[in-house]
Amino acid sequence: MEEKRKHKRLDIDVSVQLERLDEDGITTLKYVHVDVTDISRSGVGFKANVPLELHTYYDTKIQIWTKEVVDAVIEIVRCEEKEGVYHYGAVFIGMTDTDALKIDIYQIFNDL
């Protein structure tokens, strides 16, 4: 099977906090803790015990392996439910170059 991703996925032990962003720019104070299954410069895959709607946006705080926190806005683009656990795919739609670089640096170390 051909790899369609532009960026390599990483298996990573991180914690994520999601905060829902609504159309009017109002944030819904709904914090969700999720288990990240993979992350790349372009997006993140994670599991959660709560249903999230497709094409909704979340402000995320991702604590990475160095204990630094990456702030990013994600859009939920894929959802699959298995035995009460939801598996999500999301793309980063707002992230600073500095934060994207942190993920790139992790990739380099991970490949060594």
Interior/surface letters 56-84, b for 16+ CB within 10 angstroms, e for the rest: bbbebebebeeeeebebbbbbeeeeeeee
Q: Where are the domains of the chain?
A: 15-111
Q: How far apart are CA 74 and CA 55, in angstroms?
A: 9
For residues 12 and 102, what is the distance between their CA atoms, to the nearest angstrom?
Answer: 13
CATH architecture of 15-111: Beta Barrel (2.40)
The residue assigned the tokens 């793309």 is 91
DSSP label at residue 53? -
Summarised one tens digit per residue, pLDDT across range 33-67 is 788 888 888 899 999 888 888 998 888 888 777 77
- SS3 of the chain: helix, strand, coil, percent, to 5: 15, 55, 35
The answer to which of 1-5, 42-46, 74-78, 100-104 has the lowest mean pLDDT is 1-5
Indicate if the pLDDT at residue 88 is higher than 60: yes
